[in-house]
Chains A and B, each alone.
With several copies, the nearest count.
Chain A
Amino acid sequence: MKETMTIPKDTLLSLYRTMVRIRRCEEQLARSYAAGTITGACHTYVGEEAVATGVCAHLRDDDAVFSTHRGHGHALAKGVPPRELVAELFGRATGCSGGRGGSMHLFSPEVGMMGTSGIVGPCILQATGAGYSFQLKETDQVGVAFFGDGAVSNGAFHEGLNMATIWDLPVLFVCENNMYATEVAFKDSARNTDVAGRAAGYGLHAEAVDGNDVVAVYEAASAAVARARQGGGPSLIECRTYRTRPHAEGMRDGGYRSQQEIDSWKARDPITAFSRRVVDDGAVTAADLQTIDDAIVAEITEAVAFATDSPWPDPATVADHIYGGVAS
């Protein structure tokens, strides 16, 4: 676990808040799924919170994030309020996608959450495209793709990294290497599982970090985002992490992986490790963290109430917005 003393207290607390927000929200969604309140798939981010948190801490609302089936954490870290996420999974009109999307289609362009995708791969290309826009428009915005180890063996990885590199686009590729794609182990999908090493082969900046160490992610992302903003081109950060719940709610957890492996990663929980560390370092107090914990509990409780009380979308609107029409 990296040193925390160089990071301002506010930032440390903010990192903590985001991680706890994701965790509590995910736990709630898992309960709601079990209760039948969520009808579609629900892939939680539990265990991986440090990644989205460490990266999105450097992003502005006008930076564009593109994500995956496992996108709740990215959405929350990018600034989607929990109530809009919960309402979306509850299928309500107040959800961030108006109930049209559910877990795998989260859209909040207002805060730069440009969508999660139920198909593996496209987010890599779309972030590259956002980078293309930003370079063409000569802004200092950044496109960011989050994706799993499963996407590494997909053609989109190859084509996206290559285009971002040759055109020096302001893009950050964040690979969440949690060692499995559904129940298929990454080591069975690739002979060489060193994602950062392979990415470097394209000619971009690439490094691997401990994805359960929010400070490590934060620092790597800091450099990468700054480089992108300054015209220094794309980077890839491989975050080695683990999901401690099943691939999706309702699925089995073991079988393809040992209980021992799961337990060993639970022991490296990113939130526990970080809170122990910042308190030990004397950067913050246990009371500071407790205040946040309490606020988040209240926030999630409110989010569920909000979602529960929200109206269903009107079936009469079901075919709206397929087309945008001609621009003026």
Chain B
Amino acid sequence: MSEREISYTEAAREALTAAMERDPTIFVLGEGIGERGGNFNTTLGLYERFGPRRLRDTPICERGFVGLCTGAAMTGTRPVVDFMFIDFILDSVGELTNQIAKIQYMSGGRLKMPVLLRGCVGIGGGAATHHSGSYYPLFLNVPGFRVVVPTTPYDAKGLMSTALRSDDPVLFLEHKSLLNVRGPVPEEEYQIPFGQAQVCRQGTTVTVVAIGPLVPKSLAACDTLAAEGISVEVIDPRTLAPLDLDTILTSVRKTGRLLVADESFGPCGVGAEIAAQVMAQGFDDLAAPVRRLNGVHTPTPYSPPLEAAVVPSMDQVAAAVRDLAAE
């Protein structure tokens, strides 16, 4: 792997740029993604290169342009919607659920639906309740979506590249706190297949399946825990749909204990699904119940002490692992 270090956002942008060079049917829609280069610099410099038809600033009509993308994808182009904050996707849930997710199926595979939907998720920086959502459980519950939650620059580039070749609708969800994280990223294009989890750290006492920002938080907790004699295996699923259950089950076979750590809401969330699947397929391997650590089930407050109180911290991960190891 190259030693060059770039940011998560730069890495994803490299994949987008390469794909747009290669494939003239890819275009990006969003507010301020043209000349401005995106609120989060997701398209910086691309307007100059590809022009207004491929980097299209939209009116504020999220439902409308998601519907537009549906028709575009059905007629041979590959739209990318850059929502800026993913919260703005909610006005388009009808188009997503009843159209985008269903058209490949209803047409018996005669139509493809290569729509990439990207945006920034998660809590942080006082963004408050209209700019802090995650929403991936919805897209796991509804059949038809691929859901990608990269945590490193390397993965952001490789998964973005795969997403831009996918014939399925993909939710590409970039957590606020990760956008400026830097890491080694090869210059050339590469793809990371969907459905392959990453074992970020090996361990024997407890398995932690961590989503997005909980990956670095969990990794940060490992050394302290190791010093206490608790050896933690950290797994980053990287894509939630498809989910690489095998890697999780293999780990649980070894540890017998599983914590799912996820900032997004618990009820009917990713942790519930993983818990139910692990129980169903690995019941005899479990020495203790699967535990979940989630953000507090509440709208996201603005004030710093309140905001901090709703997000799972490294300390909470460590505490949950300790409790689980002791069960």
Contacts and interface: CB of A to CB of B under 8 A. Distances in A.
Q: Indicate if A touches B (C-beta under 8 A).
A: yes
Interface of A: 38-41, 64, 66, 91-92, 95, 97-105, 107, 109-110, 114-115, 117-122, 124-137, 141, 143, 150-151, 153-156, 158-160, 162-163, 166-167, 181-184, 188-190, 255-256, 312-313, 315, 317-327
Contacts of A153: 59-61
Contact of A163 (B54, B64, B129, B305): B64
A40 to B, nearest CB: 3
B167 A325 contact: yes
A100 B71 contact: no
23 contacts: A91-B126, A91-B306, A99-B301, A100-B106, A100-B302, A109-B107, A119-B99, A126-B99, A132-B71, A136-B27, A141-B75, A159-B67, A166-B59, A183-B32, A183-B35, A189-B59, A256-B36, A317-B306, A319-B296, A322-B298, A323-B104, A326-B194, A327-B166
A231 to B, nearest CB: 13
B40 to A, nearest CB: 13
A317 B108 CA distance: 10
Interface of B: 24-25, 27, 31-32, 34-36, 39, 53-54, 56-61, 63-77, 79, 87-88, 90-91, 94-95, 98-99, 103-114, 125-131, 143-144, 146, 162, 165-168, 193-194, 296-299, 301-306, 308-310
A102 B126 contact: yes
A183 B36 contact: yes
Given A107-B111, A114-B111, A134-B75, A163 B68 contact: yes
Contacts of A190: 59
Contacts of A104: 128, 130-131
Contacts of B165: 326-327
A252 B6 CA distance: 24
Given A122-B94, A184-B58, 20 more contacts: A39-B304, A41-B126, A41-B127, A91-B305, A97-B302, A104-B130, A104-B131, A107-B107, A125-B64, A126-B71, A132-B79, A137-B77, A159-B61, A163-B65, A166-B59, A315-B306, A318-B306, A322-B297, A323-B104, A326-B194
A162 B162 contact: no
B139 to A, nearest CB: 13
Given A128-B67, A128-B68, A133-B71, A326 B167 contact: yes
Contacts of B68: 125-126, 128-129, 132, 160, 163
A100 to B, nearest CB: 4
A215 B251 CA distance: 71
Contacts of A40: 125-128, 302
B168 A325 contact: yes
B99 A107 contact: no
Contacts, number: 296
B304 A91 contact: yes
Nearest to B90: A119
A129 B67 contact: yes
Contact of A122 (B32, B70, B128, B303): B70
A160 B67 contact: yes
A229 to B, nearest CB: 15
B99 A117 contact: yes
Given A64-B74, A121-B91, A127-B71, A105 B128 contact: yes
A216 to B, nearest CB: 27
Given A318-B309, A326-B165, A107 B130 contact: no
A99 B306 contact: yes
Given A40-B125, A160-B64, A182-B32, A64 B71 contact: yes
Contacts of B88: 119
Contacts of B127: 40-41
A323 B106 contact: no
Contacts of A121: 60, 67, 91, 94
B59 A163 contact: yes
A7 B277 CA distance: 66
Contacts of B306: 91, 99-100, 313, 315, 317-318
Contact of A100 (B61, B74, B108, B146): B108
A24 B168 CA distance: 39
B180 to A, nearest CB: 15
B22 to A, nearest CB: 12
Contact of A91 (B58, B168, B303): B303
A107 B108 contact: yes
Q: Which 9 A-B pairs have the closest CB atoms?
A: A125-B67, A129-B71, A159-B64, A118-B130, A126-B71, A40-B126, A102-B302, A39-B126, A91-B303
A323 B168 contact: yes
